[in-house]
Amino acid sequence: MLNWRQKSTTRSQLKLAIEDVLNTLPAAYDRPLYAQKCSALFEQVYESYPSGIRACMPPLRLGRR
């Protein structure tokens, strides 16, 4: 998606997708550390994929659980 970083809804969807995926992992962190890890992963994606993730990967099939 072009200009994904400028769209707040797209950024929010990415944050929720990251949380959904990390929630499927075994609980190894307390809530503050979990939130820190989610934020760090979002920042990594934000900085690493300015053109969007779909530009380099097939679409993810994520659903709310």
Percent of the chain with pLDDT over 90: 26
pLDDT of 55 strictly over 90? no
Cα angle 23-56-15, degrees, rounded to a multiple of 5: 30
pLDDT of 9 strictly over 60? yes
Per-residue pLDDT reduced to its tens digit, 17-41 = 999 998 888 888 888 888 999 999 9
Distances (CA, A) of 9 to 37, 44, 53: 21, 18, 15
Whether 61 is covered by a domain: the verdict is no
**Confidence class for position 2, pLDDT limits 50, 70, 90:** low
Segments forming the whole domain that contains residue 29: 4-55
- In total, how many domains does the chain have? 1
Q: What is the DSSP letter of 3?
A: T
Q: Any idea which residue has 């072009």 for tokens?
A: 2
pTM equals 0.70
Whether 65 is covered by a domain: the verdict is no
Cα angle 10-12-14, degrees, rounded to a multiple of 5: 70
C-alpha to C-alpha distance for 8 and 31, rounded to whole angstroms: 24
Q: Give me the pLDDT at residue 52, please.
A: 67
